[in-house]
Amino acid sequence: MSERVAVRKTYKLFIGGKFPRSESGRSYLVQDSNVSLASRKDARDAVVAARAAVKGWAGATAYNRGQILYRVAEMLEGRRDQFVALGSSVDEVDAAIDRWVWYAGWSDKLPQVYGGANPVAGPYFNLSAPEPTGVVAVVAPESPALLGLVSVIAPAIVTGNTVVVAASPSAPLAAVTLAEVLATSDLPGGVVNILTGRLSETVPTLAAHMDVNAIDLTGVADADLAAELEVKAAENLKRVLRPAPADHDWSADPGLARMTTLLETKTVWHPKGV
Amino acid sequence: MTATATSARSELSELGRSETALRTFLHGLPGVDQVGAEQRAAQLGTRSIKTTAKAEAIDLAIRMVDLTTLEGADTPGKVRALAAKALRPDPADPSCPHVGAVCVYPAMVPYVAEVLRGSGVHLASVATAFPSGQAPLEIKLADTRAAVEAGADEIDMVINRGAFLAGRYKEVYDEIVATKEACGDAHLKVILETGELATYDNVRRASWLAMLAGGDFIKTSTGKVPVAATPPVTLVMLEAVRDFRAATGRQVGVKPAGGIKTTKDAIKYLVMVNETVGPDWLDPDWFRFGASSLLNDLLMQRTKLTTGVYAGPDYFTLD
């Protein structure tokens, strides 16, 4: 009997809950694996998928979103070895799992902390509630591959946004493997979309796209590029998260800023009655 | 026109006189190769149209749109807004052409006519008990006359599918002839409702029947049944108008309607027109898209080409 030939995996994009190749048909080599090289059009398709998912995801109850994020942590737990094999340390994988759980807990608490009743001089109830801004483009940090990625995706989606993530060009395997985790976690298709490849191809397109509501430039190391992207983002007044400083400690308490930057505040006036 | 075409034409015009002649002719039409039609339509859909060709195709497609609203909930205000959009689809860009026509229910025609008067945008009205066509002939004709009097210069009639499927071709023929007469100067578009005709052979027969009876346009669908315009059905209809012109010298227009939502779809249809019947039909007088949401996608793609930035639906009106 002939020796078995191992099946090699092609790392594909993650768009609308599916794993398509790049429409351009291109790929590049990372750690001996073929990874799709996303084009401008893949970015466009990802935004379409993300936009289509906004209504259902933003409309889901906070409790339900929290459950799904917790489910992601459960699924990730079962795949720890896989991420370690791709180069993440055991500590990093554990921290990434814990981060999903931490953000999952915030789903129904953030509106209480960040919104609430406002005292006003008149016979009205005045209530402010945070709402998701919509489609968020995210440039993932280069390292740590998994923890960094989780730390930018989870705070964006826990409040009801959907994201198009440009994975780090040098560490895409963790991103695509995370997509496999997300695909089995009850997360509706299109809530998270992941593009692998050159940032110079996908990110300017996302920054200029009129149907993207916010952009997180965390993974943009080049200050000039970051400035250029902010200019593009200004065209439709996107919310912008600035690039992370080079010495950012990803294992520290992340705070609330990542979540609150990607929210819009809705304030309602209601007559008090007699 | 050649002598043979003239004699063929007079021969064809005699067909409507008897049920038997009509049936013999329609059933004598060659059958449609279903696999071949579907394959051909799919193949034509794979052409890549880019840059300047795409820009031209988009502007042409915008000029071909019959901007349609056929809802029970239509109000004078809504159709006025739609008519204003038809005149100036992209208010931010004066170089954007106006659409081909606005298509509404007869009761809404007067409100649209006010807005469109003198603009060059046509005003189409559905008539003849749209969408089912199941009403007595007098009512259908009154419906048509009322729409024309109110200012419609194009009438979209539905054929009596019940009669067609039962084989009463003469009845369908006579209804189209009567409606054409009721139209006066208005153009008559004949809706075949291909989603209910079941086979491509029936689509071909219904196309010929509508053309023989004097229809100026043949239109695929009402948009009110689950299966609307598909590329193979449109291909069969395009072949019918091509053959009809070859036989009689009279050119008939084609209007796919329903289910065409994206620029990509629209361009596929334009490729099919060019490859099947040629550039003579690449004109709003001879080819139209019955659509509502298609226009916004065309405008977004147009904006992408002019600005280089992907547009978002937030920046275009909903209706």
Domain range list for chain B:
3-315
Mean pLDDT of chain B: 94
Which residues of chain B neighbour A236 with C-beta distances below 8 Å? 312
E strand or H helix that includes residue B99? none
Question: Are the beta carbons of B265 and B232 closer than 8 angstroms?
Answer: no
Q: Using CA atoms, how far apart are residues B261 and A74, in angstroms rounded to an integer?
A: 40
- C-beta atoms of B312 and A211 within 8 A: yes
pLDDT at residue A197, rounded to an integer: 96
pLDDT at residue A224, rounded to an integer: 93
Residue B2 in this model has a pLDDT that exceeds 60: no
Mean pLDDT of B102-124: 96
pLDDT at residue B6, rounded to an integer: 65
Mean pLDDT of A51-74: 97
B41-55 tens-digit pLDDT? 999 999 999 999 999
Residue A274 binned pLDDT confidence (cut-offs 50, 70, 90): low
Mean pLDDT of B287-305: 95
> Phi first, then psi: what are they for A35, rounded to 5°?
-125, 135
Shortest distance between the Cα of B256 and any Cα of chain A, in A, equals 26
**Residues of chain A contacting B, Cβ within 8 Å:** 44, 47, 205, 208-212, 235-236
pLDDT at residue B4, rounded to an integer: 61
pLDDT at residue A210, rounded to an integer: 96
- Alpha-carbon separation of residue B114 from B80, B259, B273 (angstroms): 8, 29, 33
Question: Are the beta carbons of A179 and A153 closer than 8 angstroms?
Answer: no
Q: SS3 sequence, chain A?
A: CCCCCCCCCEECCEECCECCCCCCCCEEEECCEEEECCCHHHHHHHHHHHHHHHHHHHHCCHHHHHHHHHHHHHHHHCCHHHHHHCCCCHHHHHHHHHHHHHHHHHCCCHHHHHCEECCCCCCEEEEEEEEECCEEEEECCCCCHHHHHHHHHHHHHCCCCEEEEECCCCCHHHHHHHHHHHHCCCCCCCCEEEECCCHHHHHHHHHHCCCCCEEECCCCCCHHHHHHHHHHHHCCCCEEECCCCCCCCCCCCCCCHHHHCCEEEEEEEEECCC
Mean pLDDT of B253-274: 96
Residue A33 in this model has a pLDDT that exceeds 50: yes
Closest CA to A102 of A138, A66, A76, A128: A66
Domain A12-271 has CATH 3.40.605.10: yes
- C-beta atoms of A47 and B310 within 8 A: yes
Instruction: Please state which architecture CATH assigns to domain B3-315.
Output: Alpha-Beta Barrel (3.20)
- C-beta atoms of A209 and B310 within 8 A: yes
Mean pLDDT of chain A: 95
Which residues of chain A neighbour B309 with C-beta distances below 8 Å? 208-210, 235
B216 is catalytic: no
Residue B18 in this model has a pLDDT that exceeds 80: yes
Closest CA to A80 of A62, A65, A95, A63: A95
Residue B12 binned pLDDT confidence (cut-offs 50, 70, 90): confident
Q: Using CA atoms, how far apart are residues A14 and A21, in angstroms rounded to an integer?
A: 9
Residue A246 in this model has a pLDDT that exceeds 90: no
Nearest-Cα residue of chain A relative to residue B313:
A211
B268 is catalytic: no
Q: What percent of chain B lies above the pLDDT cut of 90? A: 92
SS3 B25: helix
| Type of residue at A8 | R
Residue B286 in this model has a pLDDT that exceeds 80: yes
SS3 B270: helix
pLDDT at residue B1, rounded to an integer: 47
Residue B305 in this model has a pLDDT that exceeds 60: yes
Question: Are the beta carbons of A104 and A158 closer than 8 angstroms?
Answer: yes
- C-beta atoms of B313 and A211 within 8 A: yes
pTM above 0.80, yes or no: yes
pLDDT at residue B3, rounded to an integer: 58
Which residues of chain B neighbour A205 with C-beta distances below 8 Å? 310
